[in-house]
Amino acid sequence: MQTNSKLMQLVRALARSRSGHAAVELAFIAPAMLMFILGIAEVGRVLWLQNALDYAVVGAARCMSNSPSTCSSTSQAQTYAANLSGAGFASSVFTATVASCGNKVTATYPVTLDIPYVNLSATLTSQACYPT
């Protein structure tokens, strides 16, 4: 009986002790906070990529209309758009055509979000048409 009461006293003492509670709470919260913070950074990166696509297609469509010596062929316009984006896109991401609205440049870029424990992907698209 005496060992049982000593065991109960030890359990009560451990239950009253606050040392180490912060470490346990941090261990519970850290994965969720890390996922949240990295998720915010990844969403920001995807928004930046979308902005780079938008900027590049508008610039390439304008180049096809206003500067035909620089963007005379579709491959030149695609290369121009890839260089203008600043995001390291390949020229194959862009498509340059002549449409009823004028010179049209479109872009499609698949992106995967690198968030721990979450597997998300999206396809970014952008298009611009500049009159001739």
Tell me the domain boundaries of the chain. Answer: 19-130
pLDDT above 80 (res 4): no
Q: In whole angstroms, what separates CA 79 from the centre of its chain?
A: 23
Q: What is the DSSP string of 3-41?
A: HHHHHHHHHHHHHH--TTHHHHHHHHHHHHHHHHHHHHH
Identify the residue with better confidence: 3 or 12.
12
Give the single-character DSSP code of 60: H
User: C-alpha 130: how far from its chain's center?
Assistant: 28
Q: What is the pLDDT of residue 117?
A: 78
Render pLDDT for 20-62 as a digit per residue (tens, 0 to 9): 777 788 889 998 898 899 889 999 999 999 999 999 999 999 9
pLDDT in tens, 97-115: 999 999 999 999 999 988 7
Phi, psi for residue 94 in degrees, rounded to 5? -100, 145
Residue 1 pLDDT? 54
Over residues 59-79, mean pLDDT = 92
Higher pLDDT, 91 or 14: 91
In whole angstroms, give the CA distance from residue 77 to residue 102: 14
